[in-house]
């Protein structure tokens, strides 16, 4: 988006994504921008099945967002990966697992697969 519409349009899209994410999680959850167009979420007390379902719902919520920009409607999309964090897990490896899952999801979306994230391979 930045290359086509400029950085201000990219910022507007990031703002729309952040609003969708924050409006789709509980008050006890955390949404943070990690950098660029990447966001991290901490969703408390979810089973793996519930986390997968929430991931699917978040992708759908973000994909419903549009941003009006200089007479054009810009579509928004997201590929989301997740990893289950246990009490003894270190954060960096878990972020790497979630990142790997996100890239698997992105590849699936690029190939137009509509497989819910719960059915995509998860590296543990």
Active site residues: 37
Distance set, CA 101 to CA 86, 91, 111 (Å)? 17, 15, 15
C-alpha span between 119 and 115 (Å, rounded): 6
Cβ atoms < 10 Å from Cβ of 102: 19
CB–CB of 79/52 below 8 Å?
Answer: no
Distance set, CA 46 to CA 29, 50, 59, 65, 70 (Å)? 11, 6, 17, 25, 41
């Amino acid at each position: 988006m930045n290359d086509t519409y400029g950085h201000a349009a990219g910022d507007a899209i990031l703002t729309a994504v952040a609003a969708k994410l924050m409006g789709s999680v509980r008050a006890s959850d955390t949404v943070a921008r990690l950098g660029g167009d990447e966001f991290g979420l901490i969703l408390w007390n979810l089973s793996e099945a519930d986390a997968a379902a929430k991931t699917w719902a978040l992708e759908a919520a973000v994909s419903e967002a549009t941003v009006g920009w200089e007479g054009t409607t810009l579509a928004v999309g997201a590929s989301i990966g997740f990893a289950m964090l246990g009490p003894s897990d270190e954060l960096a490896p878990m972020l790497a697992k979630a990142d790997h899952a996100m890239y698997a999801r992105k590849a699936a979306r690029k190939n137009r697969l509509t497989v819910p994230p719960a059915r995509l391979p998860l590296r543990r």
